[in-house]
Amino acid sequence: MQPLENIRVLDLSRVYAAPAGSMMLADLGAEVIRIEHPNGSDSMRDWGPFVNGQSTYYLCANRNKKSITLDLKTIEDREKLKELVRDADVILENFKTGDMERMGLSYEELRKVNPRIIYCAVTGFGQTGPLAHEPGFDPVIQAMSGLMHVTGSAEGEATKVGVPIADILTSNYVVISILTALRMRDQTNTGQFIDLALLDVQMSSLANVASAYLNTGFISERLGNRHNNVAPYQVFHCEDGPLMICVGTDGQFKKFCTMLQREEWANDPRFLTNTMRKQNEAEIVQMITDITMTKTRDEWITLLQQYKIPGGRVNTIAEALEQPQFIARDMIGEIEHEQYGTIKFIKSPIKFSNLPIQYKLAPPILGEHTNEFQKSSLQK
């Protein structure tokens, strides 16, 4: 038995943030039904590279789902959606603010059909505020949130993160908010509306950077691979490439000095505390680099593990996916589709002691299950 196997999700969303969230719900057993326009409405299907004609971008966010097509601009198909809503638990969409209302499919209208429905709307800027009706794409959100201001080299320009981090973080909040609303519905027997904005999510994820400004007025800057508050805590170059080393406490620094065979540094007035090390960061970093360049990364990793100092290779994507730790965790899965063959994917990172997550359905082609639902009574 899967924990969400009696939950039906109608997923009208596109691209990544909301679809990745519904995929997590599907992994936990929910029946997730993708609803798209008959001509296709998810631009992610068109983004390469492709495997057997399928977008690898689309594949990463849509396993364990079914796909049907409806043209919500027609009265007939809007009525079909309402019939689906009668027996659904969740509706998830990421249209621009106001679009669903203009089609007569707002939360207020759909709750008349099903008072228990949980309606989650994901937008760039939310349902309120001066930008509520503007589109919000991940790179724009990274820019507006200040994330880019603190990302990149100190000498270079503001830089976006290498993955759509605002979308990824929002997908997690999609799951958290829907599970919370389902739990609340168990107690109240009524659904509710969830308003999720990418900008809100990304701003809430500024963590220590936001806290520093709000409480002291300190504005964090781009420091490349250095840390705003801790030293030494960055990438160091070794004989054969870069290595991330994180010395997070004064106690770790003492062990680090012993590891480097520079015990005297631990008693140097410039480096006694993290605050002092941060003030003299350029000096300590250069001193460390002069030593790290004398060995390979693997040689240093052996020593770091011996002294319990956090560190790791700066891997390429290929190296990351092939590293023994990742393989040992059994994190790569395969799933078959009768039309486009075997698809590899990264499994859910959640590992329960008594709940095997099931991967039953490959990401569907457009409208793959439309006939199934037309022939059924649409009952759960």
Which residue out of 167, 200, 250, 290 is catalytically annotated? 167
Instruction: Assess whether 77 carries a catalytic annotation.
Output: no
- Give the length of the chain: 380
Q: Distance between alpha carbon 180 and the CA centroid of its chain, in Å?
A: 19
Pick the closest to residue 226 from 297, 155, 292, 290 (CA basis). 155
The first and second tokens of residue 54, run together, are: 């399928």
Pick the closest to residue 162 from 191, 134, 142 (CA basis). 142
Helices (H), the chain: 17-27, 56-59, 75-86, 99-102, 107-113, 138-144, 165-188, 198-204, 207-216, 250-259, 274-279, 281-292, 297-306, 317-322, 324-328, 370-375
- Give dist(CA 316, CA 354) in Å, integer: 34
The residue assigned the tokens 């680090």 is: 256
Q: 229 and 158 in contact (C-beta within 8 Å)?
A: no
What is the Cβ-side half-sphere exposure of residue 190, based on CA atoms within 13 angstroms? 7
Residues annotated catalytic, as ranges: 167
